[in-house]
Amino acid sequence: MDLSIIGSGYVGLVTGACFADVGHNVICIDNDSRKVESLQAGKVPIYEPGLEEIIHRNVSAHRLRFTGSIKEGVDNSQIVFIAVPTSQHSDGSVDLSFIERVAREIAGVLTSYRVIVDKSTVPVKTGEKVAESIKRYNRHGAQFDVVSNPEFLREGCAVGDLMHPDRIVIGAQSDHGVDLMKKVYEPFMAPILVTDVNSAELFKHAANSFLALKISYINAVSAICEASGADIEKVADGIGMDRRIGRDFLNAGVGYGGSCFPKDIAAFITISEQLGVPFHLLKEVQRINGTQKDRFLKAVRDALWVLRDKQIAVWGLTFKPDTDDIRSSVAIELVAEMLREGAHVAAYDPKGMERAREVKSIANTRFADSALEAVEGAEALVIATEWTEFANVDLAVVKEKMTTPIIFDGRNLFDPETMRKLGFYYTSIGRPSVKPT
């Protein structure tokens, strides 16, 4: 099929590349001329495992191309996907100005029937507004359908998520729109849930909020484990063996971050309040997530006494492994707080260094070239992101390079008993701290 995707950010680029890889002809559109030129030259602006190879393969096969023209995309496509950013206002509501602008631009060039698909995460009833805008500004009176098709991509495994989805959600008002969308997804061999537009729009916020609830729940339990001497990993394993619950998203840590969960939870709270049904449970999810970082920092302060002039190494700057995304990263927040308290921080991340260097709040950080360089002379090591590289490090070498062998593990990468035998002072999340034998 002939498809266009407006917005070549994370969602748009991954979606466009994967659609092309299953045989569709895809035009990716972006209003950033430098990004378009970069993509045309084969330079991919984000790190996502497998993405660069897919883009190069499909550009070479002439199934994928890039442009700055919405008219070109609409004229040459049966279906137009909207995948532009939906940033957050200070009150937690979603900024829909990009969606509105794109709807008007589509309306201005629409001359015959098209399916217009909201791929961006938007508040419920946005589809109705998009349809109103297109109808209002369409000079040619062309027919169209607006469809909601929420994405469920996890950074670091987005290609796999799109190529092998758990389910595909299509929210539409017309059978014709549904039929065309089913043709798009026919190569993916996944269950398709067809519903109305409003239900599809609500689906993404509800799903992400539930996953965030699981994270905050296990983090709340981790505090009880620390107070009682229990082990959160064993507790989570026991809970996760219940098929009604499952083990996924029951990993205790310093809290969730990234571009989706914080924004989506805040948006869902605002949406519920606007509808007159306040979602108090989600406010508690937010509160627990914030206090988890504070609890972790308290453990660091308690062990080091004062942070001023301490040499502290930090492993991890991205909000999760296998991405270069540092948006709403708890790791960045931890570094910023330690710097504010006068610590000297040396940080390393396998993929997030370039973006982290641009963050003003951590400008005084020394960025190391490797994990081992970061711990050279360190009085403590903070593990903030669970990269596999860190889990596989030679801990004997780490201990040798550090001034004092103190590790604060915010992602529970290591086994406490092993760390004790190796001679580390080791503090993790929801498990008893250990001292060397």
Enzyme catalytic residues: 260
Asked whether the beta carbons of 380 and 303 are under 8 A apart, the reply is yes
Report DSSP state, residue 184.
Answer: H
Asked whether the beta carbons of 264 and 208 are under 8 A apart, the reply is yes
Instruction: Report CA dihedral (88, 90, 92, 93) to the nearest 10 degrees.
Output: -60
Tokens of 331: 């790791």
Which residues, at least 6 apart from 11, have a Cβ–Cβ distance to it below 8 Å?
Answer: 83, 119, 120, 151, 153
CA–centroid distance for 78 within its chain: 29
Helices (H), ranges, 90-194: 97-109, 126-137, 158-163, 175-185
CA angle 102, 64, 107 (to 5 degrees): 20
Q: Rounded distance, CA 294 to CA 312, Å?
A: 17
Report DSSP state, residue 420.
Answer: H
* Widest Cα–Cα separation across the chain: 79
Q: Rounded distance, CA 41 to CA 6, Å?
A: 19
Which residues, at least 6 apart from 339, have a Cβ–Cβ distance to it below 8 Å?
Answer: 345, 361, 362, 364, 365
Q: Rounded distance, CA 426 to CA 49, Å?
A: 32
Residue type, 118: D
